[in-house]
Amino acid sequence: MGEHSFVLQGNICYSETKDRLSITDRGYLVCERGISRGVFRELPEAFQALPVADYGELLIIPGLVDLHLHGPQYTFRGLGMDLELLEWLDTYTFPEESRYRDLEYARTAYQRFAKDLKMSATTRAVIFGTVHGEATESLMDALESTGLRTFVGKVSMDQNCSDSLREESSGAALEAVLSWLKAAEGRYARTKPILTPRFAPTCSESLLAGLGRLQQETGLPVQSHLSENLSEISWVKELFPWSSCYGDVYQHFGLFGGEAKTVMAHCVHSTDLEIDMMKEAGVYIAHCPQSNMNLSSGIAPVRSYLEKGLSVGLGTDVAGGANLSMFRSMADAVNVSKLYWRLVDQRKRPLTMEEVFYLATRGGGAFFGPVGSFEEGFELDALVLDDEAITGVGSFSTRERLERYMYLADEGRLAAKYVAGLPIAIHKPAAVPAQPACAG
């Protein structure tokens, strides 16, 4: 049967559509060579030779996709959460990212980040590095060894940031991207490069134009930030007075969807024009609710995005968001949508549990291809969730258990994790008891 072929048995949930969960209690999820063959109530004859991992009554769900986070910011999570975006960048983010010039520091920090991401519920992620090419390679090395599937970008920025981070010129910045791509070429099976202009304010027009050309030549995907915060948006208008909206700056240089698979983080204050452009170009939106609260950015109108049929996933935006938990991101997405409904627009009903689960699985998963579902043909990323400590003496349906796990994940336990059929070693080796045995 080849590698990564097996059956998982348990209480299996995945999104059929954004409004409907598929739930099969004590069902069988079949994986052949890393690809799902579907979920069955009875194990079909054809798969009976496969090894079965029986997880009893535990929950089995698709892996969670973090569509936007910053690897180097893992080190200072939780700092400056009383500041607004631009002040937070200057005070904490840029100084910390400068430290990644030191390759030893970068290696140590990225090992830690990759290890914690591996142990988390995230199976796929789209990640910013720093401007430093070699450090970004070390981030890719660390991630590759986790078994997770990621896109990783060396950041490009040649203006409006601290001297210690600013690339010398647009030419030097483009050269640096090329040498990073060359060094990374052929080295990774699971870790892919993505072009990463940090955000419009830190990129000169000539850098954006060069990255647009490079995108055309290479077909690489693109990630950046868009319409996150009001002060940032006015700054973009000053810097690019010709633009019809913030997104137009990226669009103008060929960095906004279409042939270029693109994910833009935030889109909290996108104008109607910008929303139409994203829809037209198939740009993915990474909704990062915790970050939007922490950095006083606002509430992204996700209900409208879903109504309009845009592609949306969820992100943590670490360190805008203080932790790696995609369960937290789902719960926060529900929470902020309720504030939006209550305080901003009562026609926009809050997101449901089904919808945020869809966003964290299929919504973001689509950026990676057929990912985020257990339907036949999807790459098989799965989590096995042990919620015994959460359930206690209660009696809950599988749907209720899943909803409670979103809010109470800290009290639950990730029992197993698979990415494209590969089992990920998430269990720490059993600790040797340190304390002397006590008698009686």
Annotate each residue in 302-331 with x if it binds Fe ion (CB under 5 A) or - if it does not, as one string: ---------------x--------------
Contact between 376 and 37 (Cβ < 8 Å): yes
- Decide whether 70 or 132 has the Cβ nearer to ligand GUN: 70
Compute the least distance from the CB of residue 291 to Fe ion, in Å.
7
199 binds, among Fe ion, ligand GUN, none (CB under 5 to 8 A by kind): ligand GUN
Among residues 324, 331, 319, 351, the alpha carbon closest in space to that of 402 is found at 331
Annotate each residue in 178-207 with x if it binds Fe ion (CB under 5 A) or - if it does not, as one string: ------------------------------
Compute the least distance from the CB of residue 301 to ligand GUN, in Å.
18
- Decide whether 66 or 317 has the Cβ nearer to Fe ion: 317
Compute the least distance from the CB of residue 268 to Fe ion, in Å.
12
Q: Note whether 228 binds ligand GUN by CB under 6 A.
A: yes
Contact between 328 and 294 (Cβ < 8 Å): no
* CA gap 86, 162 in Å, rounded: 12
Span interacting with ligand GUN, options 85-93, 343-351, 384-392, 399-407, rule CB under 6 A: 85-93
* CA gap 293, 99 in Å, rounded: 27
Number of residues lying near ligand GUN (CB under 6 A): 12
- Decide whether 223 or 398 has the Cβ nearer to Fe ion: 223
Binding to ligand GUN in span 174-203, by CB under 6 A: 198-199
Residue 348 sits at φ, ψ, to 5 deg, of: -100, 90
Q: Both tokens of residue 208?
A: 């954006």
- Decide whether 317 or 387 has the Cβ nearer to ligand GUN: 317
Among residues 371, 366, 357, the alpha carbon closest in space to that of 419 is found at 371
Measured from each CB, the residue nearest to ligand GUN is: 320
The SS3 call for residue 143 is helix
- Decide whether 89 or 380 has the Cβ nearer to ligand GUN: 89
- Decide whether 328 or 404 has the Cβ nearer to Fe ion: 328
* CA gap 123, 144 in Å, rounded: 12
Contact between 122 and 69 (Cβ < 8 Å): no
Alpha-carbon distance values, 292 to 85, 126, 254, 435 (Å): 9, 18, 27, 45
| Helix H or strand E encompassing 214 | helix 205-218
- Decide whether 228 or 381 has the Cβ nearer to ligand GUN: 228
DSSP character for 432? P
Q: Which of 15, 59, 70, 150 is the binder for ligand GUN (CB under 6 A)?
A: 70
Q: Note whether 362 binds ligand GUN by CB under 6 A.
A: no
Q: What is the dihedral of CA 289, 291, 292, 294, to 10 degrees?
A: 120
Compute the least distance from the CB of residue 22 to ligand GUN, in Å.
34
Q: Note whether 167 binds Fe ion by CB under 5 A.
A: no
Q: Note whether 320 binds ligand GUN by CB under 6 A.
A: yes
Q: Both tokens of residue 206?
A: 């000539």
CA angle 337, 370, 265 (to 5 degrees): 40
Number of residues lying near Fe ion (CB under 5 A): 2
Contact between 292 and 266 (Cβ < 8 Å): yes
Q: Note whether 232 binds Fe ion by CB under 5 A.
A: no
- Decide whether 198 or 401 has the Cβ nearer to ligand GUN: 198
Q: Note whether 158 binds ligand GUN by CB under 6 A.
A: no
378 binds, among Fe ion, ligand GUN, none (CB under 5 to 8 A by kind): none
- Decide whether 64 or 226 has the Cβ nearer to ligand GUN: 226
Binding to ligand GUN in span 8-67, by CB under 6 A: none
> How many residues can be counted in the chain?
440
Residue 54 sits at φ, ψ, to 5 deg, of: -95, 110
Buried b / exposed e over 44-57, threshold 16 CB at 10 Å, is: eeebeebeeeebee
Q: Note whether 96 binds Fe ion by CB under 5 A.
A: no
Q: Note whether 132 binds ligand GUN by CB under 6 A.
A: no
What end-to-end distance do the CA atoms of the chain give, in Å?
53
Residue by residue, DSSP assigns 107-119 as HHHHHHHHHHHHH
Footprint on this chain of Fe ion (rule: CB under 5 A): 265, 317
Footprint on this chain of ligand GUN (rule: CB under 6 A): 70, 85, 89, 93, 198-199, 225, 228, 291, 295, 317, 320
